[in-house]
A and B are shown apart, each in its own frame.
Chain A
Amino acid sequence: MAMLVTLKSPIAAIGREVLDFTQHLGRLFLFFMWGFVLIFQPPFQFDKIRQQIYFIGMKSVFVICLTGAFSGMVLGLQGYYALVKYGSTAALGSAVALSLVREMGPVLTAIMVIARAGSSMTAEIGIMRISEQIDALRTMDINPMRFLVSPRIAAALICFPLLTALFDVVGLYGGYLSGSALLGLNPAFYFARAQSSVEMSDIIGGFIKSIVFAVVVVTVCCFQGYYTHTRAEFGAKGVSISTTSAVVISCVLVLITDYVLTTFLL
């Protein structure tokens, strides 16, 4: 009997982990749905959504341009030296454009926004939680989910595709800079190949990815902040751990969902 228990225990442990994980995903999903539905509850919180768009979107523009430009440049550089061996440097435009639109644009944008806005979302909501400001909202008959989470979800859904598009465009010019301006590839070839090889379905695929990433990032970051009081650690320590795990979990989830989505979209 004891033997049976010993044999079963690793399997039970795996089962427990899987159940915990599934439960956690379920909670995240419900959290998102709840916040999402409340976006549409009248009166519309236009001002708060606008502020969040400014914070998540507008303030990320510089960092997205910077990372976009260098990603494009490095793609141009690597692509050029890879293609020059086969004498097909003319294909550089396709290589840069496709990898930007399909993969690098959505993923790197998501990761940059996690670093810039996601972490501060978690910290802000977490501090409001531990200093009872969320309870204070509830005592004023203000739904904290609607007040804090919904505008962020709405803003993220709007900003992620736009930032991704910006990243793609800047990246394309980055590739042009290193491939044509520095290494001497004919710019006409570069842009013509970029234009002809990117199909509408690639662009739509990229946008679908960016919207899914928006959902993942905003849900994980708000969730970690909102439930920071349920952690074993309290106060500032709790908020710092929540912020760290928000960043780590959302980065990992972005890369995992990217793989899953790619298999479906290809």
Chain B
Amino acid sequence: MTRSPLIQLQDVAKTLGANRVLDGVNLSIYRGEITAIIGKSGSGKSVLLKHVIGLLEPDGGAILFDGRLRAAMTPAERKALRSKFSYVFQDTALFDFMNVYENVALPLKERNALSPDEVNRRVRDKLHQLDLHDVEQKYPAQLSGGMKKRVALARALVTDPEIVLFDEPTTGLDPIRKNAVHSMILDYQRRFGFTGVVVSHEIPDIFFISQRVAMLDEGRIVFEGGPDEIQEATAPEVKNFIQGLESPRDDLTGIASQSIGQNRLLQEMSRLQRYQIPFSIVLLAMDNLEDVDRIAGHVVGQTVFKVFANHVTQSTYITDTCFRFDINKILVVLPDTNEDQARDFCRKLARTMRSHALFGSIESVKGFCYSVSAGVAQAQQGIGLDELIAAAGQTQAMFYECRN
């Protein structure tokens, strides 16, 4: 694969105040793709984005467009280059003294290349496409956060840019609006074919709309590759970051809490409805947990469950979510997975559990017995979550047993 990148950052360094924000960033952005930049807050993602568009100049290193050095361009060339860009600001940066219509019309008006009628037509088109025609006379301060984001998006897209940079387009939005913004980006990217760079915290959602992912940490790119590759990444900073973001863990079990799991299920459901991306769930139950509690005490029971949860976590991918569904049940959400693949997951899990003595010395205690059963179901459109979980419960079959 010898594609040449559209934008290339080579050893870009930037010091702001006493902070070395970027410390030799190497990144390639390819034409027609969406590149996601992820990383901790304050790791310099926005600063990186501002270097791409030229709001900030690097202290060291080079930025190339189509193989040409930006620093060596003439002012006219730079101007031509800048007109290909659009930028969606983190907190929208709408002109608060202008109404929605004027905000969206401004970049077209100021370019002076179009007749007033043409400007009017394009602005109304864009407002209509983004469902903003009802509010075109309102001022940004009168709009909700989600609407402001859409106005910012309209303003960025009205010039038909070749490259659009998004600085955390979904921060502060509810899950449904988040999905809407993501699908809007994806939809527009497919329709207009622009090159996108998205700075985001929305993991794993961002992986579904991007072709490339780069992770910024301590001023350097620590990972660059496809969204599938990042799930298998072994570098601890990448793994920790992604899992850490995915699920603030329940201290007791070491897995995600129930509310996070429920949220995740809702997200997957809306993704299924929107993009027809399938997902499956696996319901794992520890059948004799009460017996364990009774024989060895509650603390041992909890420990047993925790170790079991740990095993389940280890056999999942980064983008999978497992959470405690009930006192003795764990629900695993497997995105982008059909029923057969989910069964494979169960078989793999059973194999690992058999090959490791699960609880070491506890298992040899007389009378200690427990078994694990699993039920699998694939989500279908039009079937609710409760029915899905019930379906998984019906297919439940024992797959591991330990009896002394």
Q: Are A140 and B110 in contact (CB under 8 A)?
A: yes
Please report which residues of chain A, range 104-150, place their CB below 8 angstroms from some CB of chain B when the two chains form the complex. Answer: 124, 127-128, 131-133, 135-136, 138-142, 147
A10 in the interface (beta carbon within 8 A):
no
A-B contact count (CB 8 A): 45
A43 in the interface (beta carbon within 8 A):
yes
For A43, the closest partner residue in chain B by CB is B112
Nearest CB of chain B from residue A129's CB, rounded to whole Å: 11
Q: Are B89 and A132 in contact (CB under 8 A)?
A: yes
Q: Are A141 and B83 in contact (CB under 8 A)?
A: yes
* Mask of B82-95 contacts with A, CB within 8 angstroms, 1/0: 11011101010111
Residues of B within 8 A of A124 (CB): 97
Q: If the complex has contacts A132-B93, A133-B96, are A139 and B53 also in contact, measured as CB distance less than 8 A?
A: yes
For B55, the closest partner residue in chain A by CB is A135
Q: Are B110 and A135 in contact (CB under 8 A)?
A: no
For B78, the closest partner residue in chain A by CB is A141
For A45, the closest partner residue in chain B by CB is B110
Q: How far is the CA of A156 from the CA of B94 in the complex (A)?
A: 27
Nearest CB of chain B from residue A115's CB, rounded to whole Å: 21
* Mask of A32-57 contacts with B, CB within 8 angstroms, 1/0: 00000000000100000000000000
Q: Are B91 and A139 in contact (CB under 8 A)?
A: no
* Mask of A66-96 contacts with B, CB within 8 angstroms, 1/0: 0000000000000000000000000000000
Interface centre among A43, A133, A138, A141 (most CB of B within 10 A): A141
For B106, the closest partner residue in chain A by CB is A140
Chain B residues packing against A (C-beta within 8 Å): 50, 53, 55, 79, 82-83, 85-87, 89, 91, 93-97, 106-107, 110-112, 159
Nearest CB of chain A from residue B53's CB, rounded to whole Å: 6
Q: If the complex has contacts A139-B53, A140-B107, are A131 and B91 also in contact, measured as CB distance less than 8 A?
A: yes
Residues of A within 8 A of B97 (CB): 124
Given A131-B91, A141-B107, 7 extra CB contacts under 8 A: A132-B89, A133-B95, A136-B94, A138-B55, A139-B87, A141-B110, A141-B111
Residues of A within 8 A of B86 (CB): 139-140
* Mask of A10-24 contacts with B, CB within 8 angstroms, 1/0: 000000000000000
Residues of B within 8 A of A128 (CB): 95
List 12 interface pairs A-B (beta carbons < 8 Å), by A numbering.
A43-B112, A124-B97, A128-B95, A131-B93, A132-B89, A133-B93, A135-B55, A135-B89, A136-B87, A136-B93, A138-B55, A141-B82
For B97, the closest partner residue in chain A by CB is A124
Residues of B within 8 A of A131 (CB): 91, 93, 96
Q: How far is the CA of A124 from the CA of B79 in the complex (A)?
A: 27
Interface centre among B53, B93, B111 (most CB of A within 10 A): B93
Residues of A within 8 A of B91 (CB): 131-132
Nearest CB of chain A from residue B68's CB, rounded to whole Å: 18
Partner of B93, one of A43, A135, A142, A147: A135
Partner of B110, one of A127, A133, A139, A142: A142
Residues of A within 8 A of B110 (CB): 140-142, 147
Nearest CB of chain A from residue B83's CB, rounded to whole Å: 5
Residues of B within 8 A of A147 (CB): 110
Residues of A within 8 A of B79 (CB): 141
Residues of A within 8 A of B83 (CB): 141
Q: How far is the CA of A189 from the CA of B298 in the complex (A)?
A: 110
Residues of B within 8 A of A140 (CB): 86, 106-107, 110, 159
Q: How far is the CA of A26 from the CA of B356 in the complex (A)?
A: 76
Residues of B within 8 A of A136 (CB): 87, 89, 93-95
Q: How far is the CA of A141 from the CA of B87 in the complex (A)?
A: 11
Residues of B within 8 A of A142 (CB): 106-107, 110
Residues of B within 8 A of A141 (CB): 79, 82-83, 107, 110-111
Q: How far is the CA of A124 from the CA of B55 in the complex (A)?
A: 21
Residues of B within 8 A of A133 (CB): 93-96
Q: How far is the CA of A124 from the CA of B86 in the complex (A)?
A: 24
For B90, the closest partner residue in chain A by CB is A132
Q: How far is the CA of A128 from the CA of B83 in the complex (A)?
A: 21
Q: If the complex has contacts A133-B93, A133-B95, are A139 and B55 also in contact, measured as CB distance less than 8 A?
A: yes
